[in-house]
Structure 1
Amino acid sequence: MASGVTGSRGGEGRRGFLAELKDAVNARTALLVIAVLGLQLGFIVSYIGALHHPYPYKASIGVVAPPTVSAQLVAGLNGLPKQVLDAEPVADEATAVGRMKDQKLYTALVVNPAGTQDTLLVANASGPALATAVTQIVTGVEARQGRTIVVKDVVPLAAGDAEGLSSFYLAVGWCVGGYLVASLLGISAGTRPANLRRAIIRLGALLLFSLAAGLGGALIAGPILNALPGRIIALWGVGTMVVFGVGAVTMALECFFDVIGIGIAVLLFVILGNPSAGGVFPPPLMPPFWRAIGPWLPNGAGTDLNRSIAYFHGTDVLRPLLVLSVWIVVGVALTLVASVLRRGSGRADLPKAERAVELPTAARAVDPA
C-alpha cells in the first residue's frame, strides 16, 4: 500500500517537473536561446575572422620617381606577391601629399635620384597599422635594391588619439545608443506601434535622443578628452545621423519581427558592423568579406566621417553621408509602413501592463450584471 502511494507520488513529481520545465522553457524560449547561441558564435567568428591576421591587399601607394625608373618601379610594386600594393605614378611630392590628404592614396614613395635614401610618405591618421605594414614591405623592396628609406608622416594623429581608434569608438558608441534606445522603446511600449501617429511620436523621440547623443559624443571626444580635433558641430551632425539611422532601422526590425528584430539589429550593427568598420584595421588590412561590407554599414560610414572631419578637413565624405542617409530613410519608411500594416491589431501591440488594464474593462462590457 505504502509502495503504491510512493510510486504515485513519484509519478506526480516527475510529471510536475516536466510541466514546470515546459512552463519555464517553452518552445519559443528554446528557439530564442538557440538564436542567442548563434549570435554569440557569430560574434566570435566575425571579430576573430576580421582581425586575427591583418595582411595588406592593394594598399594604394603613389610613386614619385624620374621617368626612367618610374614605370619599372610601379610595375615591380604591383607585381609583389598577394597584390599587397596598388602603385601608381605621381608627378611630384606635393601632388602625392595632396592626394594623401584627399584620401586618394594611403602612402607615397618619393625616390631620390641623387642618392640611395628614398622617402616614404605615410598618413598615420588613416591607420597606423597600415602605415607600419606598408613601411615593412617597402623597406624590404628597397633593401633588395641596395637602398634605404626614411619615413615621413604627413597626416599625424592627434596627441590624444595615440592609436587612431577614437574615430572608431565614437562611431561604435553612437551605434550602441541607437539600437539600445530603440530596443528599450520596443520593450517598454510594445515592439509595434498601434498606429501611424504613435510611430511618428516614437520616431520623434528617437530624433531628440539622437541629437542629445550626437552632441554628447562630440563633446566627449573633442573638448572634454581632447581625443579628436575637428569642428564639434560637424561631429554632432554625424553622431545624430548614426544614432537615428541605427535606431530607426532597429525600430523597423522590431515592427516586423518583434523581439527577434533586436537580434537582427545586433547581427547588423555589432557582429558585422564593428569589426568591418575600419577602425582597428583599415580596409586594405581586412579579409575580403569584411572589407566589402564595412563602408556600407553605419559603423563604417560613421568611422570614415569622424576620421575625415578630424584629420582630413572633411574630404571624401559624400559616400558615407549617402550611406547614413539611406539607412535613415529605409528605417523611417519601414517603421511607418509597418505601423500602417499593423494598425488593425493595435491592442496586441500594447505593452503587457497596458493590456492587463484593458482586460477588466472589456469583461465589464460583456457582464450581464
Structure 2
Amino acid sequence: MSTSVGHGRHEVPEEAAPPQGIWAEFKDAVALRTVALIVGVLLLQLGFVLSYVGAFHAPTPKNIPLAVVSSSAQASDQVAAQLNVITGTPLRATVVTDRETAERQIRNGELSAALLVDPQGTADTLLTSSGGGVSVSGAVTSVIDQVEAAQKRTVTVTDIVPLQGGDGRGLTGFYLVIGWLVGGYLVASLLGVAAGARPATPRRAWFRLIAIVPYAIVSGLGGALIVDQVLGALTGHFMSLWWLGALLVASAAAATMAFQVLFGVIGIGITVLVFVVLGNPSAGGAYQTTLLPPFWRALSNALPNGAGTDAVRRIVYLGSNGITGHLVVIAIYAVAGAAVAIAGSHLIQRRSLRADGTQALA
C-alpha cells in the first residue's frame, strides 16, 4: 500500500503590487483634505502675525476726549481750538465750565483727561485717568507736554483715577477676559471633538448647551477669585466680575458650538480667527481703542474680547458707567450662538433623515 504525496506541486506566489512613484506615494500618505487643513492653519498663522503686528506696530492717538477748563472763557475756547487742529487730530477737546465737572466726567469714563489752564500764569494742570487706560493716559500726557513746551508753559500731571496696586500696567482685566474666553471656546471644542463636531440630534445640541452653563458659572467664579481674593489684582468688585466672566465664557462657548454645527471641525479654526486673530489685538488691552488703527478700532466693541475688556475696566475703575452696551454685545453672542447651534442641528437631522429615506428607496 503506497501513499502518493504531491511533491511536484508548488504554490504560485501572489503577484507583487507594482511600485508606486514618489508623487503617488505622497498623495496616498497625505490626503487632499489634510492638505486643505494645513493650508488653513498656515493662513491662520499668517493672519495672527498680520493682525497683531498691524494693530500694535505704530500706536497713534486719535480723537481722545479731553476737556479744557479755565476761569477765562476766552482762554478755554482758544486752547481747545488749538488742540483740535493738531496734525492727525490726536485729541478731541471740548470746553468744560469747572474742574468738578471735568473730574466727574473723567471718573465716569466720558473723558480721558482734562487740561486746567491758568490764564494768569504759565503753569497748567493735566488731570488723567490711568485706570481708564494707561496707554491713553500716556498718549495724552505726551501730546500736552509737547504743546505746552512749544508755548513755553509747564504742566503738572495728576492721576485722579489711579490703578490698583496689583494691576500692573492695567493689563489684569485684559488677561482675565482672554482667560475666560479661551476656556469658553476650548470647552465647546472639547465637546465637539469628543462626540462629533456636529451634534447628531437637536437633543444632543441642547445637552451640550446645558453642560456649558455650570462650566461658565464655575469659570467666572474661578477667575474672579483669582484676581480678587488670591492675587489682590482687582479688588472690590467680586460679584460683578464673577457674572461678567460667566457671560463671557457662555458667549465664547455658544459661538464656538454654532461655528462647529455650521462648518464641522473647520468651525474651530473660525473660532480661533474670531476670538484670537481678530479679537485679542482689537480688545484694547495693551493699547486702548483710541490708539489702534481704524480696522481694529471698529472691531473692538463688536467682539466679546473688546466688550469684555472695557467692561472690566469700567466696573473696576469707572463706577460701572457705560457697560450696558458691552453686556448686550456679549449676550448677543451667547444667545445667537445657542440659537444657531439648535437650528443647525435640526437642519442636520432633517438632511440625515432624507438621506436615509433616499437610500432605503434605492
C-alpha contact 2:132 2:318 (8 A) present in aligned 1 = no
Deviation at 1:346, TM superposition (A): 6.1
- In structure 1, the residue corresponding to 2:114 is in which secondary structure? strand
| Superposition pairs of residues 214-253 of structure 1, within 5 angstroms | 214-253=220-259
1:331 aligns with 2:337: yes
Aligned to 1:361: none
Following superposition, the deviation at residue 345 of structure 1 comes to: 5.6
One-letter amino acid of the structure 2 residue matched with residue 134 of structure 1: V
Is the CA contact (8 Å cut-off) linking 1:171 and 1:303 kept in structure 2? Answer: yes
The reply to whether residue 119 of structure 1 matches residue 125 of structure 2 is: yes
Q: Tell me which residue corresponds to 1:22.
A: 27
Asked if structure 2 preserves the Cα contact closer than 8 Å seen for 1:230 and 1:311, the reply is no
Q: Residue in 1 aligned with 2:65?
A: 60
Structure 1 residue 187 corresponds to structure 2 residue 223: no
The residue that corresponds to 1:72 in the other structure is 78
| Cα pair 1:193 1:346 within 8 Å, conserved | no
SS in 2 for 1:269: helix
Residue of 323, 327, 342 corresponding to 2:348? 342
- 1:20, CA displacement in angstroms? 4.2
Q: CA deviation at 1:310?
A: 1.2
Counterpart in 1 of 2:267?
261
Secondary structure (helix, strand or coil) at the match of 2:301 reads helix
* TM-score for both structures, normalised by structure 2: 0.90
Match in the other structure for 1:130 = 136
Q: Which residue of 1 aligns with 2:39?
A: 34
CA distance in 1, matches of 2:230, 2:219: 15
CA distance in 2, matches of 1:333, 1:25: 37
2:223 & 2:184 partners in 1: Cα distance? 13
Match of 1:161 in 2: 167
State whether residues 75 and 119 of structure 2, in contact with CA within 8 Å, keep that contact through their aligned partners in structure 1. no
Q: Which amino acid aligns with 2:271?
A: A
Give the letter aligned to residue 107 of structure 1. Answer: A
State the 4+ residue runs in structure 1 displaced beyond 6 angstroms: none
Bigger Cα displacement from structure 2, 18-27 vs 311-320: 18-27
Task: Say if 1:124 and 1:157, in contact at 8 Å, map to a contact too.
Answer: yes
Q: CA offsets per residue over residues 165-209 of structure 1, 9 Å max, x none?
A: 001000000111111111111110111112221111100111111
- Equivalent pairs counted in the alignment come to 338
**Offset at residue 137 of structure 1 (A):** 0.8
Determine if contact 2:132/2:314 at 8 Å carries over to the other structure: no
SS in 2 for 1:242: helix
1:18 shift after superposition: 4.5
1:305 corresponds to which residue? Answer: 311
Which range is displaced more, 55-64 or 338-347?
A: 338-347
What amino acid is aligned across from residue 32 of structure 2 in structure 1? A
Q: 1:134 deviation in Å?
A: 1.0
Partner SS for 2:59: coil
Task: Tell me the TM-score normalised to structure 1 length.
Answer: 0.89
Partner of 1:5: none
The CA deviation at 1:114 is 3.4
Following superposition, the deviation at residue 21 of structure 1 comes to 2.4
Question: What is aligned with 1:350?
Answer: none
Post-superposition CA distance 1:21-64 (Å, at most 9, x none): 22331111101100100000000000000011111011111000
Give the superposed CA RMSD. Answer: 1.6
Q: How far apart, in 1, do the equivalents of 2:53 and 2:62 lie?
A: 18
> 1-side partners of 2:51 and 2:202: how far apart?
37
Residue 222 of structure 1: how far off its partner (Å):
1.0
String of CA shifts for 1:282-325, please: whole Å, max 9, x gaps.
Answer: 11110000001111100011101111111112111111011011
CA shift digits 1:218-274 (9 cap, x unpaired): 111111111112321110111111110011011010001001111110000000000
Question: What is the identity, as a one-letter code, of the residue corresponding to 1:30?
Answer: V
- SS of 1:296's equivalent in the other structure is coil
Greater share of helix: 1
2:99–2:116 contact (8 Å) kept in structure 1: yes
Q: Structure 1: which amino acid aligns with 2:305?
A: N
CA distance in 1, matches of 2:101, 2:89: 24
SS in 1 for 2:20: helix
Superposition deviation, residue 119 in structure 1: 0.5
In the alignment, residue 22 of structure 1 is paired with which amino acid? K
Instruction: Give the aligned residue type for 1:190.
Output: G
Contact 1:126–1:282 (CA under 8 A) maintained in structure 2? no
Q: Which runs of 5+ in 2 are unaligned?
A: 1-14, 354-362
Q: Which amino acid aligns with 2:315?
A: I
Q: Which runs of 5+ in 1 are unaligned?
A: 1-7, 348-369
Aligned residue type for 2:58? H
